[in-house]
Amino acid sequence: MIPKLTDEPRIFEVVVRLFVLHGYEGATTKEIARAAGVNEATLFRKYGSKAELFERAINYQWSDVPIGKVSYSGDLEADLRSIVDAYLETSLLHGAIVPMLLTELSQRRDLETAFSVAWANIGVVVEIMVRYQSQGLLQAEDPLLTLSALLGPIMVTHMFRRAGLGLPLPEVDAEDHVRSFLDGRRPDRPRVI
């Protein structure tokens, strides 16, 4: 048995929180150590490098995120709502983690492995999309495009809000959003049941 004195979950939580807040470069190891209540040297003894620390932390946090728990039920609208709800809940937990990861990933390739668990979660959602497409209930297209169409508006709304331009942007209503996704944004039109 290896004695565990440090509170690793707390470290990982701090890492992700500061990563979302300040980005990879902006989240310094000193600040992480201070916020997690451990010594900076401990971080390097345990994880070797900042990149490895972030990899462990991000994968750890993603393995328990609501979006990984969505499953196929046969009810298209309900499943889309579940996906949207899960994304909103994930955003509540970890802020703008998805756009932040995508942005940083386009700059530093060494964070690619930090994306693996998140990517697996996305894969689950994509599978659901594909099933509904093959049943003819959703437009046939690259399922990642479908997912972008479903979550993109929410992500961008959050990005606008977080940009702090003084915009009182309302939170997206999951039900309205799924309806708009399915039936479009023309008003006063009989809904297709």
Partner DNA sequence: AGCATAGGCAAGCGTTGACTTGCAATCCAG
Partner DNA sequence: CTGGATTGCAAGTCAACGCTTGCCTATGCT
CB of residue 6 vs its own copies: minimum separation in angstroms?
A: 28
Which of these segments, 34-42, 59-67, 142-150, 158-166, binds DNA (CB under 7 A)?
A: 34-42
Question: Among 3, 166, 168, 187, which residue sits at the site for DNA (rule: CB under 7 A)?
Answer: 3
Residue with tokens 């992500």: 155
Is 27 near DNA (CB under 7 A)?
A: yes
Closest by Cα among 31, 23, 29 to 46: 29
In whole angstroms, what is the distance from residue 163 CA to residue 159 CA? Answer: 6
Question: Among 21, 35, 46, 72, which residue sits at the site for DNA (rule: CB under 7 A)?
Answer: 46
Residues 54-93 that bind its own copies (CB under 8 A): none
Burial class (CB in 10 A: 0-12, 13-18, 19+), 113: middle
Burial class (CB in 10 A: 0-12, 13-18, 19+), 152: exposed
Q: Pattern 137-166, binding to its own copies, x per CB under 8 A? A: xxxxxx-xxx-xx-xxxxxxx-xx-xxxx-
Is 185 near DNA (CB under 7 A)?
A: no
Nearer of residues 39 and 134 to DNA, judged by Cβ: 39
Question: Among 119, 127, 134, 175, which residue sits at the site for its own copies (rule: CB under 8 A)?
Answer: 119
Burial class (CB in 10 A: 0-12, 13-18, 19+), 37: exposed
**Residues at the interface with DNA (CB under 7 A):** 1-6, 25, 27-31, 37-42, 44-46, 48-51
